[in-house]
Structure 1
Amino acid sequence: MTTPPAPPPDPSRPGDDRPGQGGAHGYGQPGPSAYGEPAAYGQAAAYGQPIQYGQPDPYGQQQGGYGAPQKSNGLGIASLVLGILSLPGAFFLGVPGIVLGLLAIILGIVALRRVKARRADNRGMPIGGIVTGAIGLVLGAIILAAAVFFVTTAETCIDDFSQTGDQVAYEQCLQDATS
């Protein structure tokens, strides 16, 4: 048993939207869809108005770029870089570690004051610069003190050797100084 074919469309009914029917809005015929007219170029869709530049977005989204410009903290970055450089600098007889560490601490403190005054952001970099600068400063001071001690002791041993000419006493003096 077969189903009877669909009745032919009634030409007097212009709104016949059944698929496959040759009505006014059937396949291949332009007309409004169930969701409203499509938006033309430059116009907003049927569900909202275009959002103009500089006006708030009703959906709470950020517009017009990446947001407010951030307040950079160049002193904090410089403090962190100098603090990191003070660590290996301490091993060059201590002086570069002391100088770079001291500069890192000073710049870090100034950068933290700028963060507190809300003229800069990123509080972590100046803190890192102060910590690494302090470590470099202390390490440099220890290495400098050890170098000065070793040089003065070696100088004493050399003076004794130049006066006496005793090689064994000179070597014993150097061993006593290093142990």
Structure 2
Amino acid sequence: MRIFLNLIPVILISLIAYVFTSMLLPTYKQTISLARELNKLRNQEKDLLELERIISELNKDKNISSLLAQKETLETWLPREPKITEIMAYLVNTYRILNLGEFPGSNFNLSKEENYFVSPYVLPVSSVNFDLSFEKIDLAKLQEFISYIDKSSRLMEINKAGLSWNEKENNVSANLEVAAYYLILNPSKNK
């Protein structure tokens, strides 16, 4: 009996310790996970504050604020999608304005290659390339057509030009490869 009386305090202490640990352990685990979540949120808050600071500094720049004010013009000049139908409409209208006859159509190639206009990671673009052929076109009309391409509201350039001059008829046969650019929203970071 004496052994049993000596064991009662040990049993009671063990039972109390078990009850406390079974009650406190989940609360302790929950507290640790809440502390981790709180740290993640604090880090995200720091990142957001840094982004707000960068945005406010960028808004102070007159060039960037004027670009943001003219967002529609920027979308016309360098759209975020290829917009091939708009290119086709522009070419058809140019043919009509210059009295070049019916637009014969063209082969369009979407390029997946990333180019940058200023330096790496500044203004990432890709291009829509299309080929145009002219048979027996007046040189002045060809120069006017090239001028229309250069003065387009869309960012376009002539990559390749093949010309053959016919002196007797005073006309030119021409093959042009034209590139119309569009903005890449998510450029790859491997360059």
TM-score (norm 2): 0.28
Name the structure with the higher strand share.
Answer: 2
TM-score (norm 1): 0.29
RCO (CA 8 Å, sep 6+): is it higher in 1 or 2? 2
